[in-house]
Amino acid sequence: MEKRIFLTGGETETRSRLIREALGEKLAWAGGFVMAAEAGEAGYAEGYALRPAAAVSGVEGLPSRRFLDCRSWPPERDNEVFRVYGVQLLQEAALYPFAVLDEIGGFETLIPQFREALEALLRSGLPLIGAIKTPEEAEGWRQLFGLGERMTQQTERLRASLASDPDTRMLDLNRTAEDEALAILCAWAAAYT
């Protein structure tokens, strides 16, 4: 079984839910991060934050950092969250038995420091489970923020690198039923966590 597995396709929420279900309590021992919606009083997403993976399981004292503020249109992004906190979470992932990267492939690929830390983590051999945006999702983010073709190129480069790596499995939820995908993720978790 491959050491790294990335979900793509389907809905973002489905990818995140499947990863959390497969890991269960083991998520408390994960390095890396998740991108979490932050709901306001009316229940609508006010923004999105970068959270340490272990914080999702209830481990306290691990702060979140908002990288996208959706209270205005277009949303305001804070690249510093990825440049500093994202890099820190990627570097600290080496201290854990495995890492979660949920989700990658957005505008963070344009930030050189984040990209370098991500590439170093991918080269490290640490078992990873995560999600990566589809090309269509990445294009939607690019258009929303008026970003150039460089983002498309960086995202395509990342996807191609993962897809060609013999230690990485790309699991497309548009071609794999949810129950089958969950079984594959659970088998990965049993092998690497």
Strand partners, 52: 33
Q: Which domain holds residue 188?
A: 4-34+80-192
- pTM reported for the whole predicted model: 0.93
State pLDDT tens for residues 83-137: 999 999 999 999 999 999 999 999 999 999 999 999 999 999 999 999 999 999 9
pLDDT value of position 38: 87
46 in a domain, yes or no? no
With 0-12 / 13-18 / 19 or more C-beta atoms within 10 angstroms meaning exposed / middle / buried, residue 121 is buried
Q: Give me 92's structure tokens.
A: 């600290």
68 in a domain, yes or no? no
Question: How many domains does the chain divide into?
Answer: 1
CATH number, residue 13: 3.40.50.300
61 in a domain, yes or no? no
pLDDT value of position 79: 94
Residue 37 pLDDT exceeds 90: no
184 in a domain, yes or no? yes
pLDDT value of position 85: 97
41 in a domain, yes or no? no
* Band (181; pLDDT cuts 50, 70, 90): very high
127 in a domain, yes or no? yes
67 in a domain, yes or no? no
50 in a domain, yes or no? no
State pLDDT tens for residues 156-177: 999 999 999 999 999 999 999 9
Strands of the sheet containing 65-69, edge to edge, are 76-77, 65-69, 45-52, 30-39, 98-104, 128-132, 4-8, 168-172
